[in-house]
Amino acid sequence: MVYNSRVVMDDDWTSGEPDLDREARQVLDEGASQMQAQAWDDAERSFRRALAIAVDRDPTIRLEALAGLAEAHIAKAQLEEALICLEQALHISPHHEAVLRRSLDLSVQMKRHGLSLELRRRLLLLPMAEEEQVAQRRAMVHDAIFIVIDTLESFGDYRAEGFDSLDRLRAAQEAAGNTSKATDVMVAQAERQREPHARAMAMVQAADFCAARTGSTARAVALYEAAIADDPAVQGAFDAIERVLVQRADYRELEKAYHRQAERLEQAGAKPELATLLGKLAEVRHDRLEDRKGAIDALARRVQLEPSNVEARSALATLLEHDGNVERACRMLETAAWHAPTRMDTFHALFRMYTKAKKHDQAFQACAALVYLGDADLDEQMVYQQYRPEAGLRPTAALEESDWAELYPLEHDANVRTLLEVIGPAAISHRVALQQASGKLPVLSAKTRQDPESSTVSAVRSLRWGSQVLGIALPELHIVPDLAAGISAVASQRPAIAIGKAVLSGRSIAELAFLVGRDLTYFRPEHHILLYYPSMPEFTALVTTAIRMALPNRAGTASLRDRGLLEALEAGIDAAGWDKVRAAVQRVESSGSTIDLRSYVRSLEIAATRVGLLLSGDLPTAGQLLSTDIREVAGLRAADRMRDLLPYAVSAPYASLRAKLGVDAR
Longest Cα–Cα distance of the chain, Å, equals 159
Rama region for 47: left / alpha / beta (φ>0; ψ in -120 to 50; rest): alpha
Residue 531's pLDDT band, with cuts at 50, 70 and 90, is very high
- Tell me, yes or no, whether 433 and 325 share the same domain: no
13 located within any domain: no
Q: What is the pTM of this model?
A: 0.75
> What mean pLDDT do residues 520-544 have?
93
> What mean pLDDT do residues 618-634 have?
94
pLDDT in tens, 104-113: 999 999 988 8
> What mean pLDDT do residues 78-102 have?
92
Specify which residues 497 forms β-bridges with: 477, 489
Q: What count of other Cβ atoms lies within 10 Å of the Cβ of residue 574?
A: 9
- Tell me, yes or no, whether 143 and 212 share the same domain: no
Task: Tell me whether strands 163-164 and 159-160 are parallel, antiparallel or unpaired.
Answer: antiparallel
Residue 449's pLDDT band, with cuts at 50, 70 and 90, is very high
Domain boundary among 298, 326, 357: 357
Q: Is the Cβ–Cβ distance between 47 and 26 less than 8 Å?
A: no
- Tell me, yes or no, whether 347 and 449 share the same domain: no
| pLDDT, position 21 | 65
141 located within any domain: yes
- Cα(368)–Cα(621) distance, integer angstroms: 10
- Tell me, yes or no, whether 490 and 426 share the same domain: yes
pLDDT in tens, 157-169: 555 444 578 888 8
512 located within any domain: yes
570, exposed or middle or buried, with CB in 10 Å at 0-12, 13-18, 19+? Answer: exposed
pLDDT in tens, 355-405: 999 999 999 999 999 999 999 999 999 999 999 998 889 999 999 999 999
**CATH code at 60?**
1.25.40.10
- Tell me, yes or no, whether 211 and 328 share the same domain: yes
Domain holding 456, by residue range, is 401-635
Count of structural domains, the chain: 3
Q: What is the DSSP letter of 117?
A: H
> What mean pLDDT do residues 484-508 have?
89
| pLDDT, position 177 | 84
| pLDDT, position 231 | 86
- Cα(409)–Cα(99) distance, integer angstroms: 98
pLDDT in tens, 636-650: 999 999 999 999 999
Residue 185, pLDDT > 80, answer yes
Q: What is the mean pLDDT of the chain?
A: 90
508 located within any domain: yes
| pLDDT, position 5 | 46
> What mean pLDDT do residues 272-277 have?
94
- Tell me, yes or no, whether 340 and 474 share the same domain: no
| pLDDT, position 157 | 57
DSSP 215-261: --HHHHHHHHHHHHHH-TT-TTHHHHHHHHHHHTT-HHHHHHHHHHH
- Tell me, yes or no, whether 437 and 540 share the same domain: yes
- Tell me, yes or no, whether 130 and 261 share the same domain: no
Residue 559, pLDDT > 80, answer no
- Cα(653)–Cα(646) distance, integer angstroms: 13
Rama region for 242: left / alpha / beta (φ>0; ψ in -120 to 50; rest): alpha
Percent of the chain at pLDDT above 90?
Answer: 70
